[in-house]
Amino acid sequence: MSASHAHALAHAVGATAEEPKFPLNQWYVAGFAWELKDKPLGRTLLGKPVVLFRTADGKVAALEDRCCHRALPLSSGTLEEQGLRCGYHGLLFDATGQCLEVPGQAKVPTKARVQAYPVQERDQIIWIWFGSASQPQPTIEPPAYEVHSSGEYVFEGGIYHYDAPYQLIHDNLLDLSHLGYVHLRTIGGNASVHMNAQMRVESDDTSVKVVRHMPGSQPPPTYSAAYPFKGKVDRWQEIEFLVSHLRIWTGAVDAGTDALDDPRRGGFHMRGFHGVTPETETTSHYFWTMATNPESNVEEVKAKVVEQTALTFDEDKVVIEAQYKNMLGFGPRPMVDIHVDVGANRARKIIERLRLASA
């Protein structure tokens, strides 16, 4: 087992009191814009129970999911013009966490407030800031994701809950060689081609990029169902890892028709957004969208691509949860790294450095 994997397994038991369990001073994905309508939404993020809701003017707010009176989750309450009303005794809180009203009592106690978290909505993604004691407020804007707003693509998405640590999901997404074995019915293809794909890995202090090219490949089932390829294709996979999310651009062009390093290349595109947010040290939220560029029958092709994407994530979830259960069962046994693990290992080093840096 590599040192980074051993450390991750140790953290499944618990980090020391002095160290943060996750990298702080980061924007993490808390949800999607379409989730927040006329009800509050409770969700545990980085071990913190949070309630998300929209104010009367449509802005997103995030509070600690605990009424300061008798500790009922505020997500069990109701939304009103002025804010969120607790479902137990009716205390009313605004977006800053301040209690505005105690029914039947003229004076609101000075201490009647709950913690508010910085939160922003951008490109239909809701981002929440978990800062350290020395940096509680964000110093940067949340990441942009123009794929959702450029008009060049159509997309849909969803949310998975994993009974596994979030870094195992990172490992899976940074190593797409598994497609030929796990996803034969959808986006896979020839396993040998995947394992022998030309691969380039680049990284800096906060990100990793993995680029894989598979020229002269047979298009997998999802590709053939969504795009009128003439025969063999030149495929690409570009994976960009950041601590809070990954962006994966995959696709193909008819063999020999376009350069795979051309950022404006044509063909069939699948642009995936993968917001991987720890729920606890041993459970995770996986917020995903898949965008594509149909030449015709837009809604039909989009539905097909999203359906096939969901099928692949169903398959990944089974594998990752079984992997983690086995890791716990066997304990900290050695694991051997192979050539496809370069990106995942670099990502783990970045997370560990940023975790320690936010202490």
Structural domain includes residue 230: yes
Q: What is the mean pLDDT of the chain?
A: 90
Q: What is the pLDDT of residue 154?
A: 97
pLDDT digits (tens, 9 = 90+) for 323-343: 999 999 999 888 888 878 889
Task: Decide which of 118, 133, 160 is a domain's last residue.
Answer: 118
Q: How many domains does the chain have?
A: 2
CATH number of residue 42's parent domain: 2.102.10.10
Structural domain includes residue 139: no
Mean pLDDT of 255-269: 94
Structural domain includes residue 271: yes
Tell me, yes or no, whether 50 and 154 share the same domain: no
Structural domain includes residue 290: yes
Structural domain includes residue 174: yes
Which residue range(s) make up the domain with 165? 146-357
Tell me, yes or no, whether 55 and 161 share the same domain: no
pLDDT digits (tens, 9 = 90+) for 37-79: 999 999 999 999 999 999 999 999 999 999 999 999 999 999 9
Tell me, yes or no, whether 175 and 322 share the same domain: yes
Mean pLDDT of 171-193: 62
pTM for the model: 0.90
Residue 182 clears pLDDT 60, i.e. is over it: no
Tell me, yes or no, whether 296 and 334 share the same domain: yes
Given strand 92-93, what is the order of strands in its sheet?
A: 78-79, 84-85, 92-93, 99-101
Mean pLDDT of 190-200: 61
pLDDT digits (tens, 9 = 90+) for 114-154: 999 999 999 999 999 999 999 999 999 999 999 999 999 99
CATH number of residue 257's parent domain: 3.90.380.10
Mean pLDDT of 259-263: 93
Tell me, yes or no, whether 114 and 155 share the same domain: no
pLDDT digits (tens, 9 = 90+) for 289-299: 999 999 889 99
Q: What is the pLDDT of residue 340?
A: 80
Tell me, yes or no, whether 103 and 157 share the same domain: no
- pLDDT confidence tier of residue 177, bands split at 50, 70 and 90: low
Tell me, yes or no, whether 92 and 177 share the same domain: no
* Single-letter amino acid code for the residue at 260: L
**d(C-alpha 20, C-alpha 130), whole Å:** 11
Residue 103 clears pLDDT 60, i.e. is over it: yes
Let me know: does 65 contact 77? Beta carbons within 8 Å.
Answer: no
Tell me, yes or no, whether 307 and 165 share the same domain: yes
Q: What is the pLDDT of residue 1?
A: 46
pLDDT digits (tens, 9 = 90+) for 106-123: 999 999 999 999 999 999
Taking residue 314's Cβ as centre, other Cβ atoms within 10 Å add up to: 11
**d(C-alpha 130, C-alpha 138), whole Å:** 8
Tell me, yes or no, whether 93 and 192 share the same domain: no
